[in-house]
């Protein structure tokens, strides 16, 4: 938690690395994280937590695999989506995007299970701003 307001635009302007979430603040035992993204993330699953996404800029796509097959949700700027725990997902942003995530502190960006993590994806529990 911080005792001064945080400007998200300034926070986002402070780093360039893609798929590398920065922790903006915490709420109880949850992180508010922002990330710049472009291209594809990696298929992964969080076994024990839902994951909240809000698109701050651009368009985010989230491919989902569940018992019934594969689908993709498309989130424009302002779009909100929650990936339920246990559901395999792969975010992507063909044109690039800035996103905000809300999830328990310590949650790995590549989940508890994942495919091979490509070079451009940062496997992290979030970095300080």
In the complex, the residues that contact Ni ion under the rule CB under 5 A are 51
- Closest residue to Ni ion, based on beta-carbon distance: 51
9 or 106: whose CB is closer to Ni ion?
A: 106
DSSP per-residue string spanning 108-123: -TT-SEESPPPTTS--
What is d(CA 57, CA 48) in angstroms, rounded to the nearest whole number?
28
What are 14's two structure tokens? Answer: 């402070």
Q: Which is nearer to Ni ion, 3 or 29 (CB)?
A: 29
Residue 9 or 75 having the CB closest to Ni ion: 75
Q: Which is nearer to Ni ion, 31 or 51 (CB)?
A: 51
The nearest distance, CB 7 to Ni ion, in angstroms, is 26
Closest approach, Cβ 58 to Ni ion, in A, equals: 18
Burial 28-52 (b: 16+ CB within 10 A, else e): eebbbbbbbbeebbbbbbbeebebb
CA-closest candidate to residue 73, choices 112, 87, 46, 125: 87
CB of 46 to Ni ion, least distance (A): 5
**Rounded to the nearest whole angstrom, what is the least distance from the CB of residue 5 to Ni ion in the complex?**
28
């Amino acid at each position: 938690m911080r005792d001064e307001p945080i400007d998200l635009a300034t926070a986002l302007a402070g780093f360039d690395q893609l798929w590398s979430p920065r922790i903006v603040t915490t709420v109880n035992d949850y992180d508010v994280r922002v990330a710049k993204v472009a291209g594809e993330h990696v298929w992964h699953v969080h076994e024990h937590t839902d994951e909240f996404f809000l698109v701050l800029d651009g368009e985010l796509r989230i491919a989902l695999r569940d018992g019934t097959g594969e689908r993709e949700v498309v989130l424009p700027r302002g779009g909100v989506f929650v990936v339920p725990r246990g559901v395999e997902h792969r975010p992507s942003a063909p044109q690039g995007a800035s996103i905000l995530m809300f999830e328990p502190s310590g949650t790995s960006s590549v989940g508890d299970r994942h495919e091979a993590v490509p070079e451009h994806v940062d496997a992290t529990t979030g970095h300080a701003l």
